């Protein structure tokens, strides 16, 4: 029996599929075309959902070790108690090559409104203009910043999680490895949504090919932008591709989810298994009938509601 899309997800995806019928996807390596198309799609799907009116947004600037300045955006619900509480460091998706903090204002605000957990979103620099290790070092510096400013933000440093989707999920996993290896700040939990973990995921799977929203050409483009010609080779560090970590022991407890029709399925399954075998507590969800980032387009589907409810639950539990 072959794979099929969840019927509600298929219905939501149909107009997009019809609009794209006959269009030629950009070739591998074309970053500019992907930025134009995918950032427009993210903005369109986000605008289809309401933005909460009870979330306050405050911007900060963080100086990096190499002299740059990046935006950190702090989202908090207006009724957040004054006592120190949890927080999450959020790293957005975009295949390492696209996206910015403002593009995800709506989705981050919805997580904060529903969970009550404040979130610090990081406008990390992206490849190919800023290849590895710039994105992960930006993310790690933001974790340090959040710990250093915890008291003024009303945050308990022992209750800070790292949270990201797709490329952001990969960066969140990499930040957890960096924090362990550098004896850095404690991380309460790593929340990894369909994370991009392995630069070796480059060969098409014919069972998944009819359903993918992030393709193998897209993936090759992202990894080569980040790593250059070494992508997929033997020398990739775990701080770039967390699937390469030699020993996962001592990493923070993990929440990991992925769709069964996502090209990241196998690398995420394997990472969850390796964490578990190393004694790391893991909650793992494999959602049948759904591709990568489906919940943005099919946000009214039953499976998207279940997925979002799980994410909110985990954020609230920090």
H or E element that contains 162: strand 155-165
Catalytic positions, please? 166, 262, 292
DSSP percent split of the chain into helix, strand, coil, nearest 5: 40, 20, 40
Quickly tell me which residue has 């639950």 as its tokens. Answer: 313
Q: Which of 101, 7, 114, 102 is nearest to 54 (CA)?
A: 114
H or E element that contains 254: strand 254-259
What's the CA gap between 253 and 292, in Å, rounded?
23
Is the separation of the CB atoms in 127 and 97 below 8 Å? yes
**Backbone φ and ψ of 199, nearest 5°:** -75, -5
For residue 265, count other CB atoms closer than 10 A to its CB: 20
What does DSSP assign to residue 253? P
What's the CA gap between 123 and 136, in Å, rounded?
11
H or E element that contains 87: strand 85-91
What's the CA gap between 234 and 247, in Å, rounded?
16
What's the CA gap between 140 and 182, in Å, rounded?
11
Is the separation of the CB atoms in 218 and 153 below 8 Å? no
């Amino acid at each position: 029996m072959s794979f099929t899309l969840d019927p509600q997800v298929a219905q939501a995806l149909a107009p997009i599929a019809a609009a794209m019928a006959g269009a030629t996807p950009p070739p591998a390596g074309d970053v500019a075309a992907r930025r134009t198309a995918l950032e427009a799609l993210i903005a369109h799907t986000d605008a289809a959902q309401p933005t909460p009116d009870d979330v306050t947004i405050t911007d900060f600037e963080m100086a990096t070790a190499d002299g740059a300045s990046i935006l950190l955006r702090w989202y908090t619900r207006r009724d957040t108690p004054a006592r120190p509480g949890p927080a999450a460091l959020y790293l957005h998706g975009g295949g390492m090559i696209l996206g910015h903090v403002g593009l995800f204002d709506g989705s981050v605000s919805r997580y904060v409104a529903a969970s009550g957990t404040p979130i610090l979103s990081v406008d990390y620099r992206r490849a190919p203009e800023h290849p590895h290790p710039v994105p992960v070092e930006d993310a790690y510096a933001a974790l340090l910043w959040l710990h250093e400013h915890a008291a003024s933000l009303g945050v308990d440093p022992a209750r800070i999680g790292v949270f990201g989707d797709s490329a952001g999920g990969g960066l969140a996993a990499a930040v957890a490895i960096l924090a362990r290896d550098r004896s850095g700040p404690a991380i309460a939990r790593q929340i990894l949504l369909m994370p991009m973990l392995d630069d070796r995921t480059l060969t098409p799977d014919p069972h998944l090919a009819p359903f993918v929203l992030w393709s193998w050409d897209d993936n090759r483009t992202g990894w080569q932008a980040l790593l250059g010609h070494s992508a997929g080779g033997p020398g990739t560090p775990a701080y770039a591709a967390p699937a390469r970590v030699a020993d996962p022991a001592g990493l923070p407890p993990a929440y990991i989810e992925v769709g069964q029709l996502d090209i990241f399925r196998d690398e995420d399954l394997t990472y969850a298994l390796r964490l578990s075998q190393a004694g790391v507590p893991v909650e793992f969800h494999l959602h049948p009938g759904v591709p990568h980032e489906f919940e943005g387009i099919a946000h009214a589907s039953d499976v998207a509601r279940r997925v979002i409810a799980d994410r909110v639950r985990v954020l609230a539990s920090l």
